[in-house]
Amino acid sequence: MEFFEVVEKRRSIRKYSDKKVPTEVMNKALDAALLAPNSSNLQTWQFHWVHSEQKKKNLAVACLSQGSAESAQELLVVSVRPSLWKKTSQDILSRGTPAGLEKLMQTYYGKLIPFLYGFQILAPFKWLIFNIVGILKPTPRKPWSLRDREEICIKSAALACQNFMLAITAQDFDTCPMEGFDESRIKKILNLKFSDRIVMVISVGERVDRGVWGERYRSPRDWFIHEI
């Protein structure tokens, strides 16, 4: 599909048909998710593609028995694990760097990223440094806390989710991103860590007529788009 046609067609689907979603459709969309931009290329998110029928049923219940979850042919749970920065940053450095950027990359991933994402015991000290430097010149004020780090990871995960959903739509299937769920139960179902955060659950399938709840509604454009 042409890109803007895909954007127009994508809707949050509340009811799916019984048509199976081919594995190649899912894999192609997941590969598209991997290409999404992410902060410092740290890739701190994970897609959990659930194959177990029992786990799917349990997930549907944890998603408050929404029609989007109960009728889905496929369910994916998108989580973030901020501590992945250690693994991915080392992986980036181990692959070698473009000529002339070795020192920059070593400084960025070997020193700056560990300072920003690690050493949480120094959080108040980091906050003080950022704000003192910010008086003298423009400077990023975050991340200095665990919450800041988590927020950055969630933003990156959301970009990957959008890539995935548009890629599914481009292949004539549909999705629904769900935020209504019991996070603790989902973590237990998937055996995730306490520190993991569930960003959203995405259902996948083929829409039925009653799967779309009316025309798309958007408030006036000038409420949100500001030209200054």
pLDDT in tens, 52-66: 999 999 999 999 999
Give residue-wise pLDDT tens across range 123-158.
Answer: 999 999 999 999 999 998 899 899 999 999 999 999
Q: Is the pLDDT of residue 95 over 90?
A: no
76 and 156 both lie in a single domain: yes
56 and 165 both lie in a single domain: yes
Mean pLDDT of 195-203: 97
The model's pTM: 0.93
- The count of structural domains within the chain is 2
Q: Per-residue confidence at 213, pLDDT binned at 50, 70, 90?
A: confident
Q: Is the pLDDT of residue 1 over 70?
A: no
Give percent above pLDDT 90 in the chain: 87
68 and 102 both lie in a single domain: no
Instruction: Provide the residue range defining the domain that includes 48.
Output: 3-82+147-212
64 and 114 both lie in a single domain: no
Q: Considering the domain boundaries, does residue 189 fall inside one?
A: yes
Q: Considering the domain boundaries, does residue 227 fall inside one?
A: no
Task: Tell me which residue of 197, 43, 42 sits closest to 113, measured CA to CA.
Answer: 42
Q: Considering the domain boundaries, does residue 52 fall inside one?
A: yes
Mean pLDDT of 107-128: 91
Q: Is the pLDDT of residue 197 over 70?
A: yes
Task: Work out the mean pLDDT of the chain and round it to a whole number.
Answer: 95
Q: Give the pLDDT of residue 214.
A: 85
Q: Considering the domain boundaries, does residue 9 fall inside one?
A: yes
Q: Per-residue confidence at 181, pLDDT binned at 50, 70, 90?
A: very high
